[in-house]
Amino acid sequence: MIWNLPMLLTWLRIVSIPLVCILVVLGRVHPEGIEDVMAGLLFAIAAITDSLDGYLARRLGQTTKLGAFLDPVADKLIVAVALVLLVSRDPRRLVVLMAVVIIGREIAISALREWMAELGQRTKVAVSALGKYKTIMQMVGLSLMLYRRSEFGIPVYTLGLWLTVLAALLTLVSMFIYLRAAFPYMRERS
Which pLDDT tens digit goes with each residue over 83-142? 999 999 999 999 999 999 999 999 998 888 888 888 787 777 777 788 889 999 999 999
pLDDT tens digits for range 31-69: 788 999 999 999 999 999 988 888 888 898 888 888 888
**Residues sharing a CB contact under 8 Å with residue 56, sequence separation 6 or more, in sequence order:** 5, 6, 9, 62
Length of the chain: 190
- Nearest Cα to 70, choosing from 165, 166, 6, 155? 6
Question: Which CATH superfamily includes the segment(s) 5-187?
Answer: CDP-alcohol phosphotransferase transmembrane (TM) domain (1.20.120.1760)
What does the alpha-carbon distance between residue 169 and residue 175 come to, in Å, rounded to a whole number? 10
Answer for the pair 143, 47: CB distance below 8 angstroms, yes or no: yes
Q: What is the mean pLDDT of residues 182-189?
A: 79
- Give the Cα separation of 26 and 39 in Å (integer): 10
Q: Select from 125, 10, 106, 116 the least CA-distant residue to 62.
A: 10
